[in-house]
């Protein structure tokens, strides 16, 4: 009979394994994140590219000219017209997905019954990244607070994703916040069309964030906004007098929840509705992500819905 000792403890899990268990990875590995728009990439995949090249999907004809491969001549057209035309194809390509993950101070909030918003956001980022890589697409990262603190280029290996998650978990929330500035920095960095997945509580200047989102869409990126919130922020069911602390400035404010609950819920719902309308107006997918909802369940439901809408 053996006894346990500190030396026999299992090593602490790192990377993907620290956030997703084998059962979750099995479920997620069978999903696909589709882009709703044309993308640019460099691997064979399921996403249309604006570039012309040999592929399985025929696009159009052009007159045969110097440098064209004779094997692409359409002999059926030649038989009808007595002229040489070559087939052109829509190149299918891999999708580049960039995770824009918010590590500002407010993301460190938890009402106590769930993980912090940041931990939940990290788990969501790991889940989306795992789906992307298993589909042979590429995933990159922009981790930001009041600026982009960490950038990792897009790649399509599990080792890359594992290193990405390790780096994220080594950078807990900081005090600063400037979501709009970070998004503008991302817009200036990502030159080729891709999919930008924004994971944040969006607690910052709404008008400036909307302008930054519009810039990403003007650059023809597909954009998804995952609005990460603790249930207590949505429902505000505190009963006793409390001291509220701003996690980014440290400012404290005494409050009687019963006295302000009705006005708070009204203001908060208006806050959510403004983001819903702004994103809808820009053809951006917007979803609220509650920290009391299992990440794999949320991701599966969202991706299945997105797949239906993409048809």
Task: Encode pLDDT of 56-82 as tens digits.
Answer: 444 456 676 655 567 767 888 788 888
Q: Work out the average pLDDT over 284-297.
A: 97
Q: Is the pTM of this model over 0.75?
A: yes
d(CA 52, CA 91): 6
Asked if residue 165 lies in contact with residue 16, where contact means CB atoms within 8 angstroms, the answer is: yes
Instruction: Please name each of the domains of the chain with its CATH number.
Output: 15-19+21-40+94-310 (3.40.50.410), 47-93 (no CATH)
Alpha helices in the chain (DSSP H): 22-28, 75-81, 117-134, 158-169, 179-189, 206-218, 231-235, 257-281, 295-310
**The 195-200 sheet, strands edge to edge:** 148-155, 138-144, 96-102, 195-200, 222-229, 285-290
Q: Is the pLDDT at 12 greater than 70, yes or no?
A: yes
Least trusted range by pLDDT, from 75-84, 140-149, 176-185: 75-84
Token pair in block for residue 282: 């820009």
pLDDT, tens digit (0-9, with 9 covering 90-100), for 205-254? 999 999 999 999 999 999 999 999 999 999 887 666 667 777 777 777 77
Higher pLDDT, 259 or 289: 289
Q: Which residue has the tokens 């069911």?
A: 237
Token pair in block for residue 306: 């997105």
pLDDT, tens digit (0-9, with 9 covering 90-100), for 34-60? 888 755 544 334 555 454 444 444 445
| Mean pLDDT across the chain | 85
């Amino acid at each position: 009979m053996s006894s346990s000792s500190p030396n026999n403890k299992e090593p602490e899990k790192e990377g993907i394994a620290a956030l997703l268990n084998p059962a979750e990875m099995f479920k997620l590995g069978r999903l696909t994140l589709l882009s709703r728009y044309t993308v640019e990439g460099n691997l064979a995949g399921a996403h249309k590219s604006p570039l012309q090249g040999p592929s399985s999907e025929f696009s159009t004809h052009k007159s045969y000219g110097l440098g064209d491969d004779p094997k692409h001549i359409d002999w059926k057209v030649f038989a009808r017209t007595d002229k040489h035309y070559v087939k052109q194809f829509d190149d299918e390509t891999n999708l580049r997905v960039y995770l824009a993950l918010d590590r500002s101070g407010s993301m460190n909030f938890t009402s106590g019954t769930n993980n912090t918003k940041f931990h939940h956001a990290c788990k969501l980022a790991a889940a989306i990244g795992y789906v992307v890589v298993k589909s042979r697409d590429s995933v990159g990262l922009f981790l930001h607070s009041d600026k982009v603190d960490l950038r990792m280029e897009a790649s399509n290996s599990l080792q890359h994703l594992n290193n990405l998650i390790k780096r994220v978990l080594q950078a807990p929330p900081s005090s600063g916040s400037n979501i709009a500035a970070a998004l503008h920095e991302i817009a200036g960095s990502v030159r080729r069309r891709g999919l930008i997945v924004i994971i944040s509580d969006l607690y910052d200047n709404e008008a400036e964030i909307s302008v930054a989102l519009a810039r990403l869409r003007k650059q023809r990126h597909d954009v998804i906004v995952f609005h990460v919130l603790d249930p207590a922020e949505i429902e505000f069911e505190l009963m006793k007098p409390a001291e509220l602390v701003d996690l980014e400035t440290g400012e404290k404010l005494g409050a009687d929840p019963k006295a302000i609950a009705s006005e708070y819920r009204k203001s908060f719902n208006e806050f959510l509705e403004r983001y819903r309308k702004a994103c809808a107006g820009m053809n951006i997918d917007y979803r609220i992500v509650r920290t009391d909802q299992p990440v794999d369940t949320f991701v599966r439901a969202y991706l299945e819905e997105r797949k239906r809408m993409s048809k």
